[in-house]
Structure 1
Amino acid sequence: RTVLRWYRQQGRTLPWRNITNPYRILVSEIMLQQTQVSRVLVKYPEFLRRFPSIRKLAAAWQKDVVIAWRGMGYNNRAVRLHRLAQEVVNKHNGVLPDTYETLAQLPGVGRYTANALLVSAFRRDVPIVDVNVRRVLSRIFWRMKSTLETRSEEEIWELAGRLLPSRNAYAWNQALMDLGAMVCTARTPRCDVCPAAALCASRKTARQARPSPTKREPAKDGIPNRIYRGRIIEALRRQNGQRRIGLDLLGRAIHPQYSPKHRPWLDSLMVGLEKDGLIRRSRIERWGKQRIALA
Structure 2
Amino acid sequence: MSESTFPKDSRLICIDGHDLGLVERTGSFVLDERPEGKVTIIETGPSISVPFIKEALNNLNISLKEIENIIVTHIHLDHAGGAGILLEECPNATVIVHPKGKRHLHNPSRLIQGAKAIYKEKFDTLFEPVIPIPEDRLREMKDQETLQLSLGRTLTFYDTPGHAKHHFSIYDNVTETFFTGDTIGIRYPSIERQGISFYLPSTSPNQFNPDDMLHSLRRIENIQPKQIAFGHFGISKETEKIYSEIRKWIPIFIDNGVRVVNKGGKWEELRDILMDEIKKELSSYGLEKDDSVYDIIDLDVTISAMGVMDYLLKNKSD
TM bucket, shorter chain:
under 0.3
The structure whose RCO (Cα within 8 Å, separation 6+) is larger is 1
**Larger helix proportion, structure 1 or 2?**
1
Structure with larger Rg: 1
More strand, by proportion: 2
TM normalised by structure 1 equals 0.27
TM-score (norm 2): 0.25
